[in-house]
Amino acid sequence: MTGIERVLTGIRPTGPLHIGHYVGALKLWLSAQQANLPCYFLIADIQALTTHADRFELVQGAVRKVTLDLISVGIDPRKDNVHTVLQSKVTSRAAIFDLLTMEAKLKDTENNPTIKAEMAQLKQEKREVTMGFFNYVVSQAADILMVSPVKQRGNHLYVPVGADQVPHLEATNRIVRGFNKTYNTNALTQCEGRVGEVGRLVGTDGDKKMSKSLGNAIMLSDTKEAVNASIRKMYTDPQRVRATDTVESVENNPLFIYMRAFSPDQEVVNQYEEDYKAGKIGDAPLKAILAADINNMLEPMRERRAEAEREPLGDYLREGTEAAEKLAAEVLDRMHDAMHLGYQV
């Protein structure tokens, strides 16, 4: 007997997506789609409000932008196994969240390094920490578990994510184990993270984080000219004043970080690296090659986006959301039963 395998992952609609999202996360989404597993791709609009409650219009606009970005990279909601889900519209998800809070422990949030870092950031910006933010981890557990199969050999719930999300998956699994034990049930199954090799991509200015708001991002929707301009002014190695200067290492040089992430032929990049270290090649020719590689990658995405602009995105989201709701309602029933709340009145 083969078991039930499902994939769930999500993204916060706080703006259009950039090439860092593509290499860091969306490539993993695409391989899940290609493996023909049932995939639930969540647009986490409620979670977006944990940091963007005062920018709700931006979030609303970003739902469409992110959906277009997803389709442009090859996510295909017309496929039977692919569901694009709008978080706020899955009503059973909120009820699952409510029930999970009875099992989740304060320390799941308090000790969570990602939450700690984000909380410190909020403090620095002199912003209050809302309960919604504090409950982020349990809410994300509800996102994941709303498509949980029962705990049974052969059943799997995969969650492809970046490394920063791993603490949330560990917390989710602590909650699952606790819930199943407290209520003596197999209603929920633990999730399995699928963490990509590529971490966060640096910005074109060398900042640790690529982000549209920092102005150091190459967006998936950028034109060829915009890409060329961003790469032309890209930060490289401040120690290397002339093309003939030699350098020890290119490890922290964004030019090479990008070539490693985006050049189709890594053998050729090895050669560029040797030449660059030996002072035989300058920034400008390498930048031209990198810009061409990125544009080659983006070109089919631009074509796909142009088609998708005319497609019924709302229908895709509604179909995906309904599919998730169906599973979430089943999970909620199992949880109610396990918690002795399954009675009729």
- Interface positions with ligand TRP (CB under 6 A): 8-12, 42, 44, 47, 140, 143-144, 159, 161, 165
Radius of gyration of the chain (CA): 22
Comparison of 167 and 282: residue with beta carbon closer to ligand TRP:
167
HSE-up (13 A, CA, CB side) for residue 42: 29
Backbone angles phi, psi at 233, to 5 degrees: -95, 15
Comparison of 84 and 230: residue with beta carbon closer to ligand TRP:
84
Comparison of 51 and 263: residue with beta carbon closer to ligand TRP:
51
Which position's Cβ is nearest ligand TRP?
10
The number of helix segments (H) and strand segments (E) in the chain equals 15, 5
Comparison of 39 and 42: residue with beta carbon closer to ligand TRP:
42
The least CB distance from residue 325 to ligand TRP, in Å, is 16
The least CB distance from residue 43 to ligand TRP, in Å, is 9
The least CB distance from residue 133 to ligand TRP, in Å, is 12
Alpha carbon distance 191, 141 (integer Å): 10
Instruction: Please state the length of the chain.
Output: 345
The per-residue DSSP string of 48-98 comes to HHHHHGGGHHHHHHHHHHHHHHHHHHT--TTSTTEEEEEGGG-HHHHHHHH
The least CB distance from residue 229 to ligand TRP, in Å, is 28
Tokens of 162: 């970046």
- The helix/strand/coil state of 266 is helix
The least CB distance from residue 139 to ligand TRP, in Å, is 8
Comparison of 20 and 77: residue with beta carbon closer to ligand TRP:
20
